[in-house]
């Protein structure tokens, strides 16, 4: 029986790998997700036949309760709420790892036929810490994205020393536990301190840095599963966890590159000037002059004369739920024979690929969504760049102004196109808290208004022409 | 756990990380959100550990912890795969 279980785990691992492999193209991605789910199903079913599983009522209870909650979440969450949803799911994964490690500890303590040894004790400590940090860290990330916890950068005196202190405390408690695993208090202490550390690590991270935080927590949730695998000496958990851990790390690196910042800088809590009116905002060469504002009627005429258009969506489009209005505009423009494409910055929105999901929801074809590398050279040959709710990712200061906090960040070269139309609700600065000199460029036009209304109005005016 | 056993587990872990890197670098940015939710569902594999904890014959604190772990991991697995499917269904080429 054990051999059969092990072989089934191997099959499940292979299915996970094929599943992720098929995610490399939107054509096969859905099939890939199905294969991964099948792998999970096999792993669950064979585990039920494990010799240690003797009663089923709690397993079934847990499965029904969790299954109903999970299915409700999956179907009820709107597409704009995907970052929160992923954040929350990360948390449940981490929480499960924490609880399994705890449960495993009490098994060893309460049953005479289980025994302690150093290797097991070390893996229990690791599993507790990673699981707990992932759990509370993800809950805070969820809270920030949902607007329950402040999305601003949170800073307080002694923040970094406190985190270092807690971390050292964890290591010390871990060492003592390995020496004397019968001390139950140490296990509780490690879990509680790690839970607190998870809160403190994510709390300082600002809203627009969430793509990094979510990717990192995604990686942690995988590593937590792996750590649990080490506790249980289960290859299946180690392999699946490692795959997810690697995935999260890669996304984290991509997000950090997209902001030209180190992971440490993001984790430490945002741009130096973020969320404050500190000196950095005012000393940076403040662009001067008049912005040119335009109304929907005039703008419609400019669009009517254009041949190629690139739309740059940002978090503002998600907030205004403007993706369907944007789809209507795109359909109308295309029916007039114009070439319309989307340029998507790696860190647009609140999680990797956030904009793509929203546009896909509005039934916009995925071959029109281009990444920064794919489209950046096309801006000089473009008549209009329409920016909807994006700011820092199109700020030319990242190229020109060595004093700017975002200097060196890769940006979309919208200013090279013939006309840049910026839809914004007001002249407020973006997340980095700095002015955008683009608004004052001679080829820039400000089109003020809520993204959804403004885009719908433009579509209406175009129809009336 | 014998230390040789631990070494074998570390081997598997490290090699799986490399496989992960190779696979994920090929996923296009368009699918990064479904990749996150899908891989997230895979990390719900902790459900295997939860089953082993919740299925103990004697009802102890381990069983209670196992039950809660079971609920958490099932939310992770069911929610993760379903929401990923819901997203991937929307990605179409006209």
pLDDT digit string (tens) for A431-445?
A: 667 788 999 999 999
Sorting pLDDT into bands at 50, 70 and 90, what band is A274? very low
CA dihedral A98, A263, A82, A89 (to 10 degrees): -10
Find which of A101, A103, A105 to mutate to test the B interface (most B CBs within 10 Å of its CB): A103
pLDDT at residue A115, as a whole number = 67
Query: Distance (Å) from the C-alpha of residue A78 to the closest C-alpha of chain B?
Result: 10
Tally of CB atoms within 10 A around A171: 12
Residue A281: is its pLDDT beyond 50? no
Residue A90 tokens read as: 């990360």
Residues 6+ apart with CB under 8 A from A108: A114, A115, A116, A120, A181
Sorting pLDDT into bands at 50, 70 and 90, what band is A135? very high
Q: Is A128 on the interface with B (CB under 8 A)?
A: no
Q: Which candidate, A52, A51, A38, places its Cα nearest to that of A8?
A: A38
pLDDT at residue A271, as a whole number = 53
How far is Cα A168 from Cα A176, in angstroms, rounded to an integer? 12
Which residues in B lie closer than 8 A to residue A250 (C-beta atoms)? Answer: 21, 24-25
Cβ proximity of B72 and A66 under 8 Å: yes
Query: Distance (Å) from the C-alpha of residue A86 to the closest C-alpha of chain B?
Result: 6
Q: Is A337 left (phi over 0), alpha (psi -120 to 50) or beta?
A: left
User: From B91, which residue of chain A is nearest by alpha-carbon distance?
Assistant: A360
Strands A444-448 and A339-344: unpaired
Sorting pLDDT into bands at 50, 70 and 90, what band is B60? confident
CB contact under 8 A, B1 and A47: no
- Of A110-114, A210-214, A444-448, A454-458, least confident by mean pLDDT is A110-114
- Of A250-254, A282-286, A384-388, B71-75, least confident by mean pLDDT is A282-286
Sign of CA dihedral B46, B49, B55, B56: negative
Mean pLDDT of B13-42: 95
CB contact under 8 A, B37 and A371: no
**How large is the ipTM?**
0.96
pLDDT at residue A266, as a whole number = 80
How far is Cα A374 from Cα A346, in angstroms, rounded to an integer? 12
End-to-end CA distance of chain A: 74
User: From A245, which residue of chain B is nearest by alpha-carbon distance?
Assistant: B17
Please count the residues of chain A: 465
CATH superfamily, domain at A287-464: TPP-binding domain (3.40.50.1220)
Q: pLDDT per residue over A193-221, tens digit each?
A: 999 999 999 998 888 888 899 999 999 99
CB contact under 8 A, A54 and B57: yes
Query: Distance (Å) from the C-alpha of residue B2 to the closest C-alpha of chain A?
Result: 8
Please report the beta strands in A348-392, taking only residues with DSSP state E, as ranges in sequence order. Answer: 369-371, 384-388
CB contact under 8 A, A369 and B20: no
Cα angle at A110 between A108 and A112, to 5 degrees? 75
CB contact under 8 A, B55 and A55: yes
Q: Is A28 on the interface with B (CB under 8 A)?
A: no
pLDDT at residue B1, as a whole number = 57
Mean pLDDT of A10-39: 97
Residue A191: is its pLDDT beyond 80? yes
* CA distances, A235 to each of A99, A254, B12 (Å): 19, 29, 7
- Nearest by CB to residue B45, choosing from A34, A241, A356, is A241
How far is C-alpha A323 from the geometric centre of its chain's CA atoms? 19
How far is Cα A288 from Cα A294, in angstroms, rounded to an integer? 19
Which residues in B lie closer than 8 A to residue A369 (C-beta atoms)? Answer: 30
Tally C-beta pairs within 8 A across A and B: 396
Q: Which candidate, A234, A259, A307, A268, places its Cα nearest to that of A406?
A: A259
- Nearest by CB to residue A70, choosing from B35, B78, B90, is B78
DSSP assigned state of A268: T
Query: Distance (Å) from the C-alpha of residue B71 to the closest C-alpha of chain A?
Result: 4
Backbone phi, psi, residue A323, to 5°? -60, -35
Domain ranges of chain A: 77-267, 287-464
Residue B57: is its pLDDT beyond 90? no
Sorting pLDDT into bands at 50, 70 and 90, what band is A159? confident
pLDDT at residue A264, as a whole number = 84
* Active-site option among A392, A415, A435, A450: A392
User: From B77, which residue of chain A is nearest by alpha-carbon distance?
Assistant: A70
Cβ proximity of A430 and A394 under 8 Å: no
User: From A57, which residue of chain B is nearest by alpha-carbon distance?
Assistant: B55
- Nearest by CB to residue A99, choosing from B24, B60, B68, is B68
The yes-or-no answer on residue A392 being catalytic is yes
Residue A103: is its pLDDT beyond 90? yes
Q: pLDDT per residue over A306-364, tens digit each?
A: 999 999 999 999 999 999 999 999 999 999 999 999 999 999 998 999 999 999 999 99
CA dihedral A116, A43, B31, A255 (to 10 degrees): 0
Which residues in A lie closer than 8 A to residue B77 (C-beta atoms)? Answer: 40, 44, 66, 70
Mean pLDDT of A372-400: 94
Which residues 368-397 of chain A have a CB within 8 Å of chain B? 369, 371
Sorting pLDDT into bands at 50, 70 and 90, what band is A247? very high
Rounded (10°) angle between helices A235-258 and B47-54: 140
* CA distances, A58 to each of A70, A382, A454, B55, B63 (Å): 18, 61, 54, 7, 8
Which residues 222-241 of chain A have a CB within 8 Å of chain B? 222, 224-226, 228-241
Q: pLDDT per residue over A113-123, tens digit each?
A: 666 788 888 99
pLDDT at residue A45, as a whole number = 96
Residues 6+ apart with CB under 8 A from A90: A134, A138, A141, A214, A217, A218, A220, A221, B40, B43
Query: Distance (Å) from the C-alpha of residue B94 to the closest C-alpha of chain A?
Result: 5
pLDDT at residue A120, as a whole number = 86
- Of A19-33, A73-87, A404-418, A422-436, least confident by mean pLDDT is A422-436
pLDDT at residue B94, as a whole number = 79
- Nearest by CB to residue B20, choosing from A40, A56, A246, is A246
Residue B40: is its pLDDT beyond 90? yes
pLDDT at residue A273, as a whole number = 42
The mean predicted confidence, pLDDT, of chain A is 90
Query: Distance (Å) from the C-alpha of residue A290 to the closest C-alpha of chain B?
Result: 37
């Amino acid at each position: 029986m054990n051999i059969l279980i092990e072989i089934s785990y191997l099959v499940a691992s292979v299915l996970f790998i094929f599943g992720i492999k098929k995610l490399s193209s939107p054509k096969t991605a859905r099939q890939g997700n199905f294969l991964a789910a099948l792998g999970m199903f096999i792993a669950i079913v064979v585990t039920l036949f494990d010799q240690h599983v003797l009663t089923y009522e709690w397993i079934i209870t847990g499965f029904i309760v969790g299954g109903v909650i999970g299915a409700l979440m999956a179907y009820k969450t709107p597409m704009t709420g995907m970052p929160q949803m992923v954040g929350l799911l990360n948390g449940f994964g981490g929480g499960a790892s924490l609880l399994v490690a705890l449960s495993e500890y009490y098994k060893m303590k309460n049953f005479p036929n289980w025994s302690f040894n150093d290797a097991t004790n070390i893996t229990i400590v690791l599993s507790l810490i990673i699981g707990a940090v992932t759990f509370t860290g993800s809950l805070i990330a969820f809270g920030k994205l949902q607007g329950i916890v402040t999305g601003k950068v949170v800073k307080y005196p002694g923040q970094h020393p406190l985190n270092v202190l807690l971390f050292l405390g964890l290591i010390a408690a871990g060492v003592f536990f390995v020496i004397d695993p019968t001390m139950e208090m140490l296990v509780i202490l490690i879990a509680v301190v790690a839970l607190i550390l998870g809160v403190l690590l994510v709390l300082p991270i600002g809203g627009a840095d969430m793509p990094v935080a979510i990717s990192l927590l995604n990686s942690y949730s995988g590593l937590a599963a792996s750590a649990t695998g080490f506790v249980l000496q289960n290859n299946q958990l180690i392999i699946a966890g490692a795959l997810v851990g690697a995935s999260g790390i890669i996304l984290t690196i991509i997000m950090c590159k997209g902001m030209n910042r180190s992971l440490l800088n993001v984790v430490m809590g945002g741009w130096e000037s973020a969320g404050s009116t500190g000196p950095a905002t005012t000393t940076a060469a403040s662009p001067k002059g008049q912005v040119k504002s335009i109304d929907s009627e005039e703008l419609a005429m400019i669009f009517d004369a254009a041949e190629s258009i690139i739309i740059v969506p940002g978090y503002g489009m998600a907030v205004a739920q403007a993706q369907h209005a944007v789809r209507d505009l795109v359909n109308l423009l295309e029916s007039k024979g114009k070439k319309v494409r989307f340029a998507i910055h790696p860190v647009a929105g609140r999680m990797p690929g956030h904009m793509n999901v929203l546009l896909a929801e509005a039934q916009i074809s995925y071959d029109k969504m281009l990444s920064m590398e794919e489209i950046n050279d096309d801006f000089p040959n473009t008549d209009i760049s329409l920016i909807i709710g994006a700011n820092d990712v199109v700020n030319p200061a990242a190229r020109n102004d060595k004093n700017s906090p975002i200097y060196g960040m890769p940006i979309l070269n919208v200013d090279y196109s013939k006309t840049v139309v910026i839809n914004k609700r007001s002249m407020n600065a973006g997340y980095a808290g700095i002015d955008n000199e683009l608004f004052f460029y001679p080829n820039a036009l400000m089109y003020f208004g809520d993204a959804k209304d403004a885009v719908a109005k433009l579509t209406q005016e175009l129809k009336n022409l | 756990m014998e230390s040789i056993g631990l070494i074998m587990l570390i081997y598997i872990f490290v090699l799986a990380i490399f496989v992960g890197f190779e696979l994920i670098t090929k996923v296009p940015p368009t699918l990064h959100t479904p990749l996150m939710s899908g891989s997230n569902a895979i990390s719900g594999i902790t459900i295997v550990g939860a089953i082993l904890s919740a299925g103990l014959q004697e009802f102890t604190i381990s069983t209670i912890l196992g039950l809660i772990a079971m609920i958490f991991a099932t939310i992770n697995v069911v929610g993760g795969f379903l929401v990923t499917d819901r997203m991937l269904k929307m990605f179409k080429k006209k």
